[in-house]
A and B are shown apart, each in its own frame.
Chain A
Amino acid sequence: MKLNREEVLHIAKLARVGVTDDDVEHLREQLSDILENFEILKKVDTADVPPTAQSIPLQNVTKDDQAADSLLPGQILANAPRKEGEYFRVKAVLE
Chain B
Amino acid sequence: MTPQQLTIHEAHRLLKDKKLSSVELTGACLKRTGEVEPKLQALVTVTGEAALKQAENADRLIAKGDINPLTGVPVVIKDVLCTKGVRTTCSSKMLENFIPPYNATVVEKLNSLGAVSIGKANMDEFAMGSSTEHSAFFATHNPWDLDRVPGGSSGGSAVSVAADEGIYALGSDTGGSIRQPAGFCSVVGLKPTYGRVSRYGLVAFASSLDQIGPLTKDVTDCAIVLNAIAGFDNRDSTSAPNPVPDYTRCLAADLKGLKLGVPQEYFVQGMQREVEKALLDAIRKLEELGAKVDLGVSLPSTPYALAAYYIIAPSEASANLARYDGVKYGFSYPDADSMWEALEKTRQFGFGDEVKRRIMLGTYALSAGYYDAYYLKAQKVRTLIRREFDSAFEKYDALITPTSPTVPFKLGEKLDDPLQMYLSDVCTLPINIAGVPGISIPAGFGNGLPVGMQIIGKPFGEEAILKVAYAYEQATEWHKRKPQI
- Is B307 within 8 A of A38, CB to CB? yes
One of A19, A43, A91 near B342 (C-beta < 8 A): A91
Segment among B183-191, B262-270, B355-363 that sits at the interface with chain A: B355-363
**Number of A-B pairs, beta carbon distance below 8 Å:** 158
Which chain A positions have C-beta within 8 A of B237? 58, 61, 63
- Is B384 within 8 A of A18, CB to CB? no
One of B332, B356, B381 near A81 (C-beta < 8 A): B332
In the assembled complex, the Cα of A31 lies from the Cα of B345 at a distance in Å of 21
Indicate whether A67 reaches chain B with its CB closer than 8 angstroms.
no
- Is B344 within 8 A of A52, CB to CB? no
The secondary-structure label for the interface of chain A is loop
User: What does the 1/0 interface line of B365-407 toward A look like (CB < 8 Å)?
Assistant: 0010000001011111111101000000000000000000000
- Is B364 within 8 A of A41, CB to CB? no
One of A31, A76, A90 near B357 (C-beta < 8 A): A31
- Is A52 within 8 A of B338, CB to CB? no
In the assembled complex, the Cα of A23 lies from the Cα of B326 at a distance in Å of 21
One of B318, B380, B419 near A37 (C-beta < 8 A): B419
In the assembled complex, the Cα of A27 lies from the Cα of B160 at a distance in Å of 34
- Is A95 within 8 A of B338, CB to CB? yes
Segment among B95-103, B120-128, B146-154 that sits at the interface with chain A: B95-103
Identify which of residues 420-470 in chain B touch chain A, using a CB-to-CB cut-off of 8 Å.
422, 433-436, 459
Which chain B positions have C-beta within 8 A of A30? 357, 418
Given A71-B102, A81-B332, is A41 in contact with B347 using a C-beta cutoff of 8 Å? no
In the assembled complex, the Cα of A41 lies from the Cα of B382 at a distance in Å of 11
- Is B363 within 8 A of A44, CB to CB? no
- Is B364 within 8 A of A81, CB to CB? no
Which chain A positions have C-beta within 8 A of B347? 15-18
- Is B435 within 8 A of A80, CB to CB? no
- Is B98 within 8 A of A31, CB to CB? no
Q: How far is the CB of A15 from chain B (nearest CB, A)?
A: 4
One of B101, B326, B459 near A75 (C-beta < 8 A): B101
Indicate whether B304 reaches chain A with its CB closer than 8 angstroms.
yes
- Is B380 within 8 A of A51, CB to CB? yes
Indicate whether B208 reaches chain A with its CB closer than 8 angstroms.
yes
Identify which of residues 26-85 in chain A touch chain B, using a CB-to-CB cut-off of 8 Å.
27, 30-31, 33-35, 37-38, 40-41, 43-44, 46, 49-56, 58, 61, 63, 71, 75-76, 78-82
| Total B residues in contact with A, Cβ cutoff 8 Å | 68
Q: How far is the CB of A24 from chain B (nearest CB, A)?
A: 11
In the assembled complex, the Cα of A91 lies from the Cα of B357 at a distance in Å of 27
Which chain B positions have C-beta within 8 A of A78? 99, 101
One of A8, A17, A79, A95 near B328 (C-beta < 8 A): A79
In the assembled complex, the Cα of A50 lies from the Cα of B381 at a distance in Å of 9
Given A81-B326, A90-B327, A90-B339, is A53 in contact with B208 using a C-beta cutoff of 8 Å? yes
Q: How far is the CB of A83 from chain B (nearest CB, A)?
A: 10
Which chain A positions have C-beta within 8 A of B377? 41, 44, 46
One of A51, A88, A95 near B382 (C-beta < 8 A): A51
Given A18-B348, A88-B328, A91-B339, is A41 in contact with B381 using a C-beta cutoff of 8 Å? yes
Which chain B positions have C-beta within 8 A of A81? 326-327, 329-332
Which chain B positions have C-beta within 8 A of A8? 360
With most chain A CB atoms within 10 A of its CB, the pick from B304, B307, B340 is B307
Indicate whether B247 reaches chain A with its CB closer than 8 angstroms.
no
- Is B379 within 8 A of A52, CB to CB? yes
- Is A44 within 8 A of B301, CB to CB? yes
- Is A31 within 8 A of B361, CB to CB? yes
One of A49, A61, A82 near B380 (C-beta < 8 A): A49
Which chain A positions have C-beta within 8 A of B374? 38
Which chain B positions have C-beta within 8 A of A33? 418-419
Indicate whether B351 reaches chain A with its CB closer than 8 angstroms.
yes
In the assembled complex, the Cα of A74 lies from the Cα of B401 at a distance in Å of 50
In the assembled complex, the Cα of A38 lies from the Cα of B304 at a distance in Å of 9
Which chain B positions have C-beta within 8 A of A46? 377, 380-381, 383-384
Given A14-B363, A78-B101, is A58 in contact with B328 using a C-beta cutoff of 8 Å? no
> What are 7 of the A-B contact pairs (CB < 8 Å)?
A35-B364, A44-B380, A44-B381, A46-B381, A49-B380, A75-B101, A90-B342
What residues make up the interface of A, taking CB atoms closer than 8 Å to B?
A: 8, 11-12, 14-19, 27, 30-31, 33-35, 37-38, 40-41, 43-44, 46, 49-56, 58, 61, 63, 71, 75-76, 78-82, 88, 90-93, 95
A-B residue pairs, 7 tightest by C-beta: A55-B435, A18-B348, A51-B379, A81-B332, A79-B329, A18-B344, A46-B380
Instruction: Add 18 more A-B contacts to A16-B343, A44-B381 (CB < 8 A).
Output: A16-B340, A30-B357, A31-B357, A41-B304, A43-B304, A44-B304, A46-B383, A49-B384, A52-B386, A53-B379, A55-B435, A58-B240, A79-B328, A81-B329, A90-B327, A90-B339, A90-B342, A95-B338
